[in-house]
Amino acid sequence: MSFEMGPSRPPSEARSLLLRITRGCPWHRCEFCSSHRTMKFELRTVEEIKKDIETAKIIADHIKELSWKSGLGGNIIEAADQVHANPPSEGYRIVALWLYFGGKTVFLQDADSLIMRTPDLVEVLRFLRQTFPQITRVTSYGRSKTAAKKTPEEMREIHDAGLTRLHMGLESGSDEVLNYVQKGTTAEHHLKGGKHVVESGISLCEYVMPGLGGKRWSAEHARETARVLNEINPAFIRLRSLSIREDIPLYQKWASGEFELLSDDETVQEIKELIERLEVTSYLASDHVENLLQEVEGQLPEDKGKMLEVIAQYQQLSPQERLNFQFGQRAGYYSTLSDIHNPHLRERVNSAIAHITDQEKYLPQLILDLKKRFLV
């Protein structure tokens, strides 16, 4: 007994029940992304989705029964833990993990659930809420261009039916950058779609990609992205620094010299310029391994000074110390900037660097190779 699940979700939805609403991405041409590129986009039927929800409900009820029949006194967490350790199917594993962490949040896959007809999406959301009345949050990915095509009334209806948060890839507010990486949208789409979401009452999480403009558009990328975010004022802004890997189209432009990748120092400076221009009441998160300074995080505007201070501390390090931190963070020795002052960790990083011959030539390339291990 199982149900269909897609390949991706935001890191913040790691404890959510995953339900597949659509397959793939309706655009799948973004040059910085490898997800869904070879997958044909398909809309799932309301009947298929409802059947999956019913299956998840049957599994959840079975695990709850086991919490009594197995002598656990109704302890659902213990029962879920036992099932998760030896699940009869992937569906059981996912539902058990979900119940273990409270069974309160759901994430709808894949890349753009908003592309469903509004009546169909509303029917799915209502059925989901009726089946699992304990749910407190239902989230999904959505494209700003799709949200821009929905009327404000449709977005409010979707919110009222039970969708509480949307994750959107803004990436950049610069039309030059968006066009160059074939995002398939514009700053105007971002603004219209983002405002539709915010005004509907749905919590909006916008993803920004530092470095996406390369050296050519770095200043414009920071400036225009801040401008668009200031007009939308989303609930969350999440940083996802660009990483170049062989499986994304942008890699070929970089390999040929057409696209000039920002160094870590230049990316930090770009993030500084973005934050300085932000006039929002959003929570800025740096919760991804791609980001060098993951402690640059907080509630705006009150934590702006704290975030800029972290950046200032990094920029005040000597070039050798910054390189030490870049290697140590990418290699997994350091978690935060303050770790560079831990003598034990510093010694381990220095020892690892000492084994690299011709450090001036090979260390920057090794840092770049370490970054390629991570997902965009």
| CA–CA distance, 102 with 92 (Å, rounded to integer) | 15
Task: Report, as an integer, the average pLDDT of 209-226.
Answer: 98
Domains and CATH numbers, the chain: 11-316 (3.80.30.20), 317-376 (no CATH)
Short-list 164, 169, 232, CA closest to 206: 169
Using alpha carbons only, give the angle 206, 213, 203 rounded to the nearest 5 degrees: 5
As a whole number of angstroms, the distance between CA 328 and CA 325 comes to 5
Q: Residue 71 burial by CB count (10 A; 0-12/13-18/19+): exposed, middle or buried? A: exposed
Q: Residue 232: is its pLDDT beyond 90?
A: yes
C-alpha dist (Å) from residue 56 to 95, 127, 135, 288, 320: 7, 13, 13, 29, 53
Which residue's entry shows tokens 């470095």?
211
pLDDT of residue 355: 82
- The Cα 137–Cα 164 span in angstroms is 6
Whole-number Å distance between alpha carbons of 350 and 333? 11
**Which tens digits make up the pLDDT trace of 55-109?**
999 999 999 999 999 999 999 999 999 999 999 999 999 999 999 999 999 999 9
Could you tell me if 82 and 64 are in contact, meaning their C-beta atoms sit under 8 angstroms apart?
no
> pLDDT of 15-36, one tens digit each?
999 999 999 999 989 999 888 7
For the cut 80, the answer to whether the pLDDT of residue 225 exceeds it is yes
pTM of the predicted protein model: 0.93
- Give the mean pLDDT of 243-260: 92
If one compares 237 and 287, the residue with the highest pLDDT of the two is 237
| Mean pLDDT of the region 114-121 | 98
362 pLDDT higher than 90: no
State what percent of residues in the chain have pLDDT above 90. 85
Q: What is the mean pLDDT of residues 156-182?
A: 98
Q: What is the pLDDT of residue 376?
A: 40
DSSP state of 86: S
Answer whether residue 338 shows pLDDT above 80.
yes
